[in-house]
Structure 1
Amino acid sequence: MKHFYLTLILLCFSAITLPAQAAMGDMQGKATMGNAKNTGAGQTAKTQIFLGHGKINSLNLEARTANVAMGPVKALGWPSMSMNFVVQDKTLLNGLKTGEIVSFDFAKNTTGGYVITRITPAAP
């Protein structure tokens, strides 16, 4: 009979504490997820950089844009074309002029467009 009461007490105790422990474990998981989201822990942003080469058709310092007649970009399957690019920082356009041959790096931005991250006059 003692074993019956002891088993009954253990079952009651387990029935009370296990749901509380499960809830605490769930809350700890949510706190960890919140910290990871807020701090960026475990998240890596892999931005692929592409190389372009071409001739500047036009520059707009106010709008931070450059129109470039560029050669093909094999990594993207692009043929030769003229394209408007947003420039990451308008200071990248300082000293450049229309008609100049340039080499540049560009990447896809969060809105699906492409942004120039580096641009320099091409070596002769």
Structure 2
Amino acid sequence: MQDHAQMQAQMHAQHQAAPEQAAAELSSGEVQKVDKDTGTLTIQHGPLVNLGMPGMTMVFKAKDAAMLGQVKVGDKIRFRAEQVNGAFTVSKLEPVR
């Protein structure tokens, strides 16, 4: 069993690696449709490594409705998709400038 100091050191190391891992976990895509009525984004994307999916075009729920106002059709994005309650959901979104 780990003592408190070991656990703290391990948590600190994980925290340091988190920003690099988060950037690596974002997928590239292009917005095909923004539907504010249904709270969804249609995205043509490359492979979604964390979901084990190849590139394709899919409809995703937006985790936060504010995401729908951040992008428009044709925008290149970096995003993270997750499966939440059975629905593919965009949990993080960064427009590529």
Q: TM-score range by the shorter chain?
A: 0.5 to 0.7
Counterpart-to-counterpart distance in 2, 1:95 and 1:108: 21
Q: Percent identity?
A: 24
**What is the Cα deviation at residue 91 of structure 1?**
0.7
Matches within 5 A, 1:45-124: 51-110=26-85, 112-123=86-97
**What is the Cα deviation at residue 64 of structure 1?**
0.6
Cα RMSD between the aligned structures? 1.8
**What is the Cα deviation at residue 89 of structure 1?**
1.4
Deviations 1:35-68 (A, max 9, x none): xxxxxxxxxxxxxx95321000000012110000
User: Which structure 2 segments of 5+ residues have no match?
Assistant: 1-21
Counterpart-to-counterpart distance in 2, 1:118 and 1:104: 5
When Rg is computed on C-alpha atoms for both structures, the one with the higher figure is: 1
Q: Which letter does structure 2 place at the counterpart of 1:106?
A: A
Q: Partner of 1:103: helix, strand, or coil? A: strand
Do the aligned residues in 1 keep the contact of 2:60 with 2:90 (CA within 8 Å)? yes
Q: Which letter does structure 2 place at the counterpart of 1:104?
A: F
Deviations 1:91-110 (A, max 9, x none): 11213110000011222111
Count of aligned pairs between the two proteins: 74
TM-score (norm 2): 0.67
Counterpart-to-counterpart distance in 2, 1:120 and 1:79: 20
If asked which structure has higher relative contact order (CA below 8 Å, sep 6+), I would say 2
